[in-house]
Amino acid sequence: MSRKAGTSPKERLLSAALEHIRANEAPDFSLRELAAAIGTSHRMLVYHFGSREGLLIEIVRSFEVEQAAWMRGLLDDDARPLVARLREVWRSFCAPGMRPREKLFFEVYGYALAGRDDTRDFLHALVDTWLAPLEIVAEKIGVAPDARRASAGLLLAVTRGLLLSLLASGNLRQVEETMEHFLANYVPLRDHAERSTQKNPSSNVTLAGP
């Protein structure tokens, strides 16, 4: 298990668990199996996280923050077309190595929806963590300021729904075609507005979101 200066024992255990999952891509594990793999004891994991479910919540929370930060950085890079960057995000989610993480995500989502006490704040974070970077998308495609949060929520819902469909069906081609259809009809709003304004300069074009 790696040890980093300035971190607590709980943080070091969580870091080791994250490294193990990244390296092994295996979501199905017991606390005893994980403890043996990262060089600690079942008792220590229970002490710090309470249960397997408690540890999974912390693992998924960390992955969500990490992915949202990566996506925010990608969206801030305007050197490439926005739709190309959105495709990169989507394809990263669909990569085979991401499936175990996504299974963990939906497992923990289920705990939160079931009303576990330790997921009360986490349920809101599963949405709020992603809305800010997705509002950047809404701004870049010309959605009106008062509709950007709703637009971000739509993109989040479509993405998660398609990921769940992929896990359930294994039909990558189908979900990719669906996402491509969504991107093709969702992202070009700004270009459409500019073309409409050029044809009729006197018109006031207000984008109310998708």
The model's pTM? 0.75
At residue 188, the pLDDT reads 60
Q: Which of 6-10, 77-81, 97-101, 201-205 has the lowest mean pLDDT?
A: 201-205
Q: Which residues contact 158 (CB under 8 A, 6 or more apart)?
A: 179, 182
**How far is residue 133 from each of residues 147, 152, 154, measured CA to CA in Å?**
15, 8, 13
Higher pLDDT, 126 or 20: 20
- Per-residue pLDDT for 185 more than 50? yes
% of the chain beyond a pLDDT of 70: 83
At residue 137, the pLDDT reads 84
The sign of the torsion formed by the CA atoms of 23, 163, 181, 123 equals: negative
Q: 7-47, pLDDT tens digit by residue?
A: 899 999 999 999 888 887 666 778 999 999 999 999 999 99
What domains appear along the chain, each with residue ranges and CATH number? 7-50 (1.10.10), 63-191 (1.10.357)
Six token digits for residue 110: 């289920």
The sign of the torsion formed by the CA atoms of 34, 35, 39, 45 equals: positive
Highest mean pLDDT among 2-6, 41-45, 83-87, 199-203: 41-45
At residue 163, the pLDDT reads 95
From CA 202, how far away is CA 192, in angstroms rounded? 16
Six token digits for residue 90: 């989507």
From CA 24, how far away is CA 29, in angstroms rounded? 11
Six token digits for residue 16: 């080791």
At residue 25, the pLDDT reads 64
User: Please, what is the angle between helix 42-49 and helix 9-24, to 10°?
Assistant: 110
Mean predicted confidence (pLDDT) in 97-123:
81
Six token digits for residue 135: 């509002």
- Per-position b or e across 173-195, b if 16+ CB within 10 A of its CB: eebbebbeebbeebbbbeeeeee
- Per-residue pLDDT for 194 more than 50? no
Task: Answer whether 128's CB lies under 8 Å from 68's CB.
Answer: no
Q: 54-87, pLDDT tens digit by residue?
A: 898 888 888 888 888 888 887 777 888 888 888 8
Six token digits for residue 59: 């693992």
- Per-residue pLDDT for 193 more than 70? no
From CA 104, how far away is CA 92, in angstroms rounded? 16
Higher pLDDT, 140 or 34: 34
